[in-house]
């Protein structure tokens, strides 16, 4: 139970920081997608089905927090978790430069999917702006990996976020 409370608190921080601290650290209005980064970290440390469920649930929480397009982030983050689940089988999780590349690629794919879905839903984005935002968010998420991933990885493997039950590890 303590593990889920910590995971929820981290998600709350991921929702609050972009509108507060990262508002001042934005580049041309571009901020990191911390919820997507958190889902990537979770999916790297869980079985595929579990990662997808976490991605979907976290996406719904983000959707309700943002208050519009309910289901958009749920779909996006579930797909991101699925991509990570596919790639993690051949990935060395302790290698930070490789994890940075993985985060960049998956964030590009997730943000591109978001732009495509938003465009089909009627939002008007110019291609140049969309590319700038997608690459900016991806680059920002990538830069945060060396600062955050070592602590998150250690916590998932040895600390408070480590799965306690064998059933939880097998899902």
**Residues 94 and 153: beta-carbon distance below 8 Å:** yes
Packing angle between helix 127-157 and helix 96-120, nearest 10 degrees?
140
Question: In DSSP terms, which residues pair with 27 in a beta bridge?
Answer: 30
Threshold 0.85, pTM exceeds: yes
Question: In DSSP terms, which residues pair with 30 in a beta bridge?
Answer: 27
Average pLDDT along the chain: 88
Query: Which burial class, exposed, middle or buried, applies to 30 when counting CB atoms under 10 A from its CB (0-12, 13-18, 19+)?
Result: middle
Please write the tens of the pLDDT for every residue from 58-93: 999 999 998 877 889 999 999 999 999 888 877 777
């Amino acid at each position: 139970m303590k593990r889920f409370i910590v995971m929820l608190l981290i998600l709350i921080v991921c929702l609050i920081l972009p509108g507060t601290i990262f508002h001042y650290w934005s580049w041309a209005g571009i901020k990191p997608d911390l919820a997507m980064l958190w889902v990537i970290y979770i999916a790297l440390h869980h079985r595929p089905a579990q990662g997808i469920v976490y991605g979907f649930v976290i996406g719904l929480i983000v959707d309700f927090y943002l208050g519009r397009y309910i289901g958009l982030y749920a779909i996006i983050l579930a797909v991101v978790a699925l991509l990570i689940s596919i790639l993690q089988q051949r990935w060395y999780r302790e290698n930070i430069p490789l994890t940075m590349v993985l985060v960049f690629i998956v964030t590009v794919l997730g943000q591109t999917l978001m732009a495509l879905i938003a465009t089909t839903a009627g939002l008007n984005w110019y291609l140049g702006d969309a590319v700038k935002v997608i690459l900016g968010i991806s680059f920002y998420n990538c830069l945060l990996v060396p600062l955050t991933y070592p602590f998150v990885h250690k916590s998932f493997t040895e600390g408070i976020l480590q799965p306690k039950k064998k059933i939880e590890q097998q899902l």
